[in-house]
Structure 1
Amino acid sequence: MDTAELRRALEDAELSPYQADAYTALLRLGSASATGLADACSVPTARIYDVLRDLEAKGYIETYEQDNLHARANEPHSVLASLRGKADRFTAAAAEIEELWEQPAVDDHMVSIVKRFETVFDRACAIVREAETEVQVSATTEQFRQLRPALATAYSNGAIVSVSIHTESGTNASELPDTLSYESVATEVRHRTLPAPFIVLADRSRTCFTPHERSVNQYGVLVDDYTLTYVFHWYFQTCLWEVWEPMYDARPTEPPLVYADIRRFVREMEPLLTDDTTVRVSVEGFDTGNGEPVSFVGTLTEVSYAGESTSGEPPLSQLAGETAITVAVGDDVRTVGGWGAVVEDVEANRLTVEALTSAP
């Protein structure tokens, strides 16, 4: 059923044409100011306030003040009950209303707030299946099991999949998935023995988030934005990943060694450079000047970061600021940064150690 047919069905359910048009538009928007809603439908601005009051009286919507009058759709239980008592066309209209209610409006927004965990989880499955570079997940054991088919697809796409499974303190190890559950699904798995939010980050641009189950406020956040996803990435790294020991690690120990995170690359390559090991590395990413994709292979000549150098692998705290590498490609020298690189020549989204040659 298309939108026009849905409006006609609502008119048959005793809504006026203006009321049906305004309610359908509000379902799509989630919430809107009165004037914004008028712009999104055929109701004249002069009539929109009367239409909203009538819809509120019928229980379809609720209005609230936020600098000016705003409206949002109520949970459509009573509407669905009425429509499903009608003929086949009313049943089809009810299904579409339910779908519109559950589906967040993300096409025109960087951030959407939703009420249902199922909405967040469905979106998480979708963005994971599409991921090709990196996926980071914080989930309970059961959430991991449900997300596992999508993670397997991302893994087969070539994405680096990092999973932080959180459980209550004192959880028996037998309650965790067995090792076979992670094979061809996750690159690395860590176990956090504290409640944590459900988080999925995919390819540096999309985030799905809900607070942990004990949170007073239950809601979901869907983000389709590079910069905001970077904020969630650092929360994941510092609170859900760095301080917890690996319980499964499928990363190879010999080249090719693939990295999506330049900081991890620097931590593991700096000691090799100190020992005069020659590191042959391929870089895939984007030119920071024009945004065009770039890829090249060269020799790692230097790593640099804002913190002071230490013996062995530097801790994450030393790498929290600017972190970069220098790669020699023939007679050319290129600087490479990670997520959010600005001053370097290239922002890398994948670094692959192709070969390691020890000093004679």
Structure 2
Amino acid sequence: METESLVETLEAAGLSPYQAEAYVALLELGTASATDVADASGVPAPRIYDVLRTLEELDYIETYEAESLRARAHSPSVVLDDLRNRAERLESAAEEVEQRWEQPELEAGGASIVTRFRTVIERAEAFITDANHQILLSTTTGNLRRLAPSLRDAVDRGVSVRVSVHTDEDEAPPDLDLFEGTCIEARHRPLAAPFVALADRRQASFAHHPDSYDRYGVLVNDRTHTYVFYWYFLTTLWEPWETVYDATGEGLPIEYFDVRHLVRDLRAIGWEDAPITLRVEGYDTKTGEESTVVGTVVDVRVPFASESDTGYELAGQVTVDLDVDGEHVSVGGWGAIVEDIEGTRLTIVDAPPLD
């Protein structure tokens, strides 16, 4: 580093211009009289004594009398420690500025646009950590590995976690060991896709694929906006792709995160021919409070009459009616209004074998 640059750096670290110039000059001179330091540094002679005393107070130099005031630089360890401490504080300040700018506090009903993917995945990690019921995730294998500890903790808490892993066309399929303990079901999309993390139907973290022209992220803490990301996840990142990992195994219970998936299997089983017991976890649509009921399926109402191979339709109202200890309870999906319960986790706990 040239002398001029060193002086400027010391000024940025907190020294005055005269202090920085005098200290650099003294480093080159070793030991010198105040007059020689003034001549070498360009500090005005009337000011050099105050400058040297200030540097001595900072432990940068020491002065002594030998016919005239003389000065010598201290061992640089003190200066180096001071500069490194200043550098650490500056680095911390830079990180704090970045965090406060990139990660505005998300209030209820809020949404933010961010420019760094790191912010998106850090918020996703926080959403996963705080989730109580459900996590839906679209990610690469690399980012899944990063989020795996938080996902395992969520699974251990009883959170329903489903993951859609996307890979490039020339990339190998994900190793199934990657899903062990991190989710209850995983699907593989052999096509690049955005990063999407949804938690408890109210928080969303979204970022375009890194190769996309549009490079920004969206953070949401709002049920209505998260609902849009949910439908994108369901129709584009989940439903069309093959299941590659299923921790539930064969037999009962069978868990669903969407009422339409449940209806598909109810029609395949033939719910009218044998009693099917369903446990529903969700929210009371009148009070908004969490609700869990267990009852027998007595009706399935769908807006389509066709008995297609999939029995799966995206549009329209889908309702499952239950008999809960003699009381009628209707169950709808995300955004249910007219039903009694908005189901977030629907589990068949007793039914005839599914062919």
- Normalising by structure 1, we get a TM-score of 0.70
Deviates more, 1:346-355 or 1:119-128: 346-355
Cα separation, 2, equivalents of 1:192 and 1:99: 32
Cα separation, 1, equivalents of 2:291 and 2:108: 30
User: 1:289 deviation in Å?
Assistant: 1.8
Cα separation, 1, equivalents of 2:314 and 2:104: 36
Cα separation, 2, equivalents of 1:87 and 1:328: 67
Find the residue that maps to 1:161 and give its secondary structure.
strand
Cα separation, 2, equivalents of 1:264 and 1:257: 11
Cα separation, 1, equivalents of 2:131 and 2:108: 21
1:204 aligns with 2:201: yes
Backbone CA RMSD of aligned residues: 2.6
The partner residue of 2:179 within 164, 182, 185 is 182
1:284 aligns with 2:288: no
Partner of 2:169: 169
Cα separation, 2, equivalents of 1:272 and 1:222: 40
Residue pair 1:286, 1:347 contacting (<8 A) in 2 also: yes
Deviates more, 1:285-294 or 1:154-163: 285-294
Unaligned runs of 5+ in 2: 1-13, 16-82
- C-alpha distance 88-346 of structure 1, shift in aligned 2 (>3 A): closer
- C-alpha distance 238-90 of structure 1, shift in aligned 2 (>3 A): closer
Residue pair 1:307, 1:319 contacting (<8 A) in 2 also: no
Cα separation, 2, equivalents of 1:233 and 1:342: 17
Partner of 1:248: 245
User: 1:135 deviation in Å?
Assistant: 1.1
User: 1:252 deviation in Å?
Assistant: 3.2
Partner of 2:295: 298
Find the residue that maps to 1:169 and give its secondary structure.
coil
Partner of 1:219: 216
Find the residue that maps to 1:286 and give its secondary structure.
strand
- C-alpha distance 170-287 of structure 1, shift in aligned 2 (>3 A): same
- C-alpha distance 109-266 of structure 1, shift in aligned 2 (>3 A): closer
Cα separation, 1, equivalents of 2:315 and 2:251: 27
- C-alpha distance 171-99 of structure 1, shift in aligned 2 (>3 A): closer
User: 1:295 deviation in Å?
Assistant: 2.1
Partner of 2:321: 326
Residue pair 2:107, 2:221 contacting (<8 A) in 1 also: no
Cα separation, 2, equivalents of 1:354 and 1:183: 24
- C-alpha distance 108-258 of structure 1, shift in aligned 2 (>3 A): closer
Partner of 1:235: 232
Cα separation, 2, equivalents of 1:199 and 1:87: 36
1:127 aligns with 2:127: yes
Question: Residues 1-360 of structure 1: matches in 2 within 5 Å?
Answer: 93-107=93-107, 110-173=110-173, 176=174, 178-274=175-271, 276-315=273-312, 318-357=313-352
- C-alpha distance 112-84 of structure 1, shift in aligned 2 (>3 A): farther
Q: Deviations over 1:252-308 (max 9, x none)?
A: 322222222111111111222356121111222222122233222111111111122
User: 1:354 deviation in Å?
Assistant: 1.8
Find the residue that maps to 2:177 and give its secondary structure.
helix
Residue pair 2:281, 2:293 contacting (<8 A) in 1 also: yes
Q: Give the letter for the 2:188 counterpart.
A: H
- Normalising by structure 2, we get a TM-score of 0.71
Partner of 1:63: none
Residue pair 1:131, 1:157 contacting (<8 A) in 2 also: no
Cα separation, 1, equivalents of 2:88 and 2:189: 50
Find the residue that maps to 1:278 and give its secondary structure.
coil
Aligned residues: 274
Residue pair 1:84, 1:91 contacting (<8 A) in 2 also: no
- C-alpha distance 348-200 of structure 1, shift in aligned 2 (>3 A): same
Q: Give the letter for the 2:320 counterpart.
A: I
- C-alpha distance 120-311 of structure 1, shift in aligned 2 (>3 A): closer
Find the residue that maps to 1:290 and give its secondary structure.
coil
Cα separation, 2, equivalents of 1:140 and 1:131: 21
User: 1:108 deviation in Å?
Assistant: 6.6
Cα separation, 2, equivalents of 1:84 and 1:306: 68
- C-alpha distance 108-201 of structure 1, shift in aligned 2 (>3 A): closer
Find the residue that maps to 2:197 and give its secondary structure.
strand
Q: Give the letter for the 2:266 counterpart.
A: M
Find the residue that maps to 2:351 and give its secondary structure.
strand
User: 1:319 deviation in Å?
Assistant: 4.1
Once superposed, which parts of structure 1, at least 4 consecutive aligned residues long, lie more than 4 Å away?
A: 83-95
